Amino acid sequence: MKRMFTLLAVVVASVLSIATLSARELNVVPEPAYVDLEAEGDYAVTNKTRIIVVDEMWAPAERFSEDMMATMGFEKPMHMSKHGNKGIKVRTDSCIASEGYEMTVSEEGVLIIGGDEAGVYYGLQTLRQILVTNNGCVPYGFVADEPSFRYRGAHLDVCRHFMSVDDVKEYIDILAAHKLNRLHWHLTDDQGWRIEIKAYPELTEKGSVRKETLIGHGLEPKWWDGKPHGGYYTQEQIRDVVKYAAERYVTIVPEIEMPGHAQAALHALPWLGCNEQEVDVWTMWGVTPEVLCAGKETTYTFLENVLKEVIELFPSELIHIGGDECPKDRWKECEHCQAMMKAQGLENEEALQGYLVTRIEKFLNAQGRRIIGWDEILEGGVTPSSTVMAWRGAKIGAYAAEHGHEVVMTPLPICYFDFYQTESREGEGLRIGGHINFEKIYSWDPFEGISESARKNIIGVQCNVWSEYLKDISMVEGQLLPRLAAMCEVQWAVDRRDESTIRRKMENLRKFYDACGWNYAPYYFDGRQ
């Protein structure tokens, strides 16, 4: 049916003007599930248009009004009331899927019915994209839409380079506009501890600042910048960001890295390490041998105390416990680690990591939360109740899904948005490496190699923005956009991607990015891949 209307639109468009063409196609990213634009005519939305709020849908209506001021130049908030005839009417209907919506446009105005509050919000996001790129007009017709995946995430590393509260909020705005619903906030790592923990003030007092930053790929002294870099979020700021995200239907999944990627914590609290030696907050990138001691009870008490505060701040059911890239050199030489292995009957150091992860999983389960971790958590024999973030390859994600884990697919290189965007790398500036372009992301099949029965375990897809070479939010945005547009088509519209229309849609979306004032990379638009 949808194809028929698309065909009809193409035939009609070929005999009409360009202006009419753009008016008769929605050109929305991500692609809605069903679009019918058969009726002739457009409805114009202005600052005088009323929002008629049914079922107490005030919150998404207010977000829409704010967005219209920010992107359409509306001078004042839109008028909202419970009653009225013409305007933008919003309500819910539980017959519609969660996060889904239907939008009907006629002479009477726009009616958006969401499956829930988030669905109303996503309907309004679709409406906003159309209005911003179509001179404030939306064509008469009907749209029905719902997401492919329930976890639609983007990760942000604020450890390698700190991003302010306002920067993180802008990042959330961008995710929400692409209908993503998870921000994976990478808060602790070797190069900086970024979350205030009241039980251990040293973590941020000492662990949030490094002496200098590696600015090249080489290791000679001349490649460091010689400037201290730091920053952290107070608990009050974190509450503010969590609320801001929730108002945009984004759940923040906080990540506290363990037992590796913890050198900043070791600098602040040397007793967390095996040999208790002083180490710096790391000034390099990669994998350090300095990791948390998994043999001492004090490490477990520390982790539990940190997590107690984390779960007070973040309502997310999933709490990310890291788990990746933990060298075992220190553990092999540590009497505490070796004694713990003996006491627990653990065969090797990999099993010791499994012991730590499982123990933390039990702790979080008892608090009503569940763990998510990078795919190395599979190596220590965690139970299928843990969610696996598959990063080292889609095959590992397939393995985890076949073994009963819920899986978020975020494999290299497809989902690594810190990578270069063109093969030639010309004009891109220094980046971590690799190369992944828009088209490869857009055409990626996240179900490849996964049996029909295990597909249900793929709960979502995520892109990762590591910030080793991204010093500020503008650089982050340049890595994120427009590749996030390809990613959100996978996340929201996996079975309705269409190579023949995506470029036209992207030209339209570019206008939307300009209206929002977001930075984006030129390569896809220039045809440089």
Q: Which is nearer to Zn ion, 179 or 328 (CB)?
A: 328
By a kind-dependent CB cut-off of 5 to 8 A, residue 193 interacts, out of Zn ion, ligand ACM, none, with none
Sign of CA dihedral 405, 406, 409, 412: negative
Strand order in the sheet with 50-53: 34-36, 141-145, 101-106, 109-114, 87-92, 50-53, 79-81
By a kind-dependent CB cut-off of 5 to 8 A, residue 68 interacts, out of Zn ion, ligand ACM, none, with none
The distance of closest approach from Cβ of residue 204 to ligand ACM in the complex, given in angstroms and rounded to an integer, is 23
Binding site for Zn ion (CB under 5 A): 274, 293, 295, 334, 336-337
Q: Which of 366, 375, 372, 328 is nearest to 349 (CA)?
A: 328
Tokens representing residue 496 in the block: 């309705």
The distance of closest approach from Cβ of residue 379 to Zn ion in the complex, given in angstroms and rounded to an integer, is 18
Q: Which is nearer to Zn ion, 337 or 390 (CB)?
A: 337
The distance of closest approach from Cβ of residue 24 to ligand ACM in the complex, given in angstroms and rounded to an integer, is 44
Active site residue 178: no
Q: Which residues of 440-470 are buried (b: 16+ CB within 10 A; e: fewer)?
A: ebbebebbeebeeebeebbbbbbbbbbbbbb
DSSP code per residue over 137-187 = EEESEEEEE--S-SEEEEEEE-SSS---HHHHHHHHHHHHHTT--EEEEE-
The distance of closest approach from Cβ of residue 295 to Zn ion in the complex, given in angstroms and rounded to an integer, is 4
The catalytic position among 25, 102, 116, 189 is 189
The distance of closest approach from Cβ of residue 334 to Zn ion in the complex, given in angstroms and rounded to an integer, is 3
Going from the C-alpha of 288 to that of each of 8, 208, 229, 329, 396, the distances in angstroms are 59, 17, 19, 10, 24
Q: Which is nearer to ligand ACM, 304 or 325 (CB)?
A: 325
The catalytic position among 93, 304, 325, 498 is 325
DSSP 48: T
Q: Which is nearer to ligand ACM, 142 or 285 (CB)?
A: 285
Inter-residue contact 77 to 58 (CB < 8 Å): no
Q: Which is nearer to ligand ACM, 49 or 462 (CB)?
A: 462
Active site residue 240: no
Q: Which is nearer to ligand ACM, 325 or 498 (CB)?
A: 325
CA dist 445 and 454 (Å) reads 15
Tokens representing residue 137 in the block: 């007009």
The distance of closest approach from Cβ of residue 409 to ligand ACM in the complex, given in angstroms and rounded to an integer, is 13
Element (H, E) at 14: helix 2-15
The distance of closest approach from Cβ of residue 326 to ligand ACM in the complex, given in angstroms and rounded to an integer, is 10
Q: Which is nearer to ligand ACM, 323 or 446 (CB)?
A: 323
Q: Which is nearer to ligand ACM, 55 or 324 (CB)?
A: 324
By a kind-dependent CB cut-off of 5 to 8 A, residue 374 interacts, out of Zn ion, ligand ACM, none, with ligand ACM
Provide the residue count of the chain: 529
By a kind-dependent CB cut-off of 5 to 8 A, residue 274 interacts, out of ligand ACM, Zn ion, none, with Zn ion
Cβ contacts of 316 within 8 Å, gap of 6 or more: 251, 252, 253, 254, 369
The distance of closest approach from Cβ of residue 258 to Zn ion in the complex, given in angstroms and rounded to an integer, is 13
By a kind-dependent CB cut-off of 5 to 8 A, residue 528 interacts, out of ligand ACM, Zn ion, none, with none
The catalytic position among 261, 267, 320, 405 is 261
By a kind-dependent CB cut-off of 5 to 8 A, residue 324 interacts, out of Zn ion, ligand ACM, none, with ligand ACM
By a kind-dependent CB cut-off of 5 to 8 A, residue 151 interacts, out of ligand ACM, Zn ion, none, with none
> Which residues lie across from 101 on neighbouring strands?
114, 145
By a kind-dependent CB cut-off of 5 to 8 A, residue 411 interacts, out of ligand ACM, Zn ion, none, with none
Classify strands 141-145 and 34-36 as parallel, antiparallel or unpaired: antiparallel
Residue whose pair of structure tokens reads 């996978």 in the numeric block: 490
List the Cα angle 201/202/206 in 5-degree steps: 135
Active site residue 261: yes
- Mapped onto helix, strand or coil, the DSSP state of residue 87 is strand
Binding site for ligand ACM (CB under 6 A): 324-325, 374, 391
Active-site residues, by number, are: 189, 261, 325
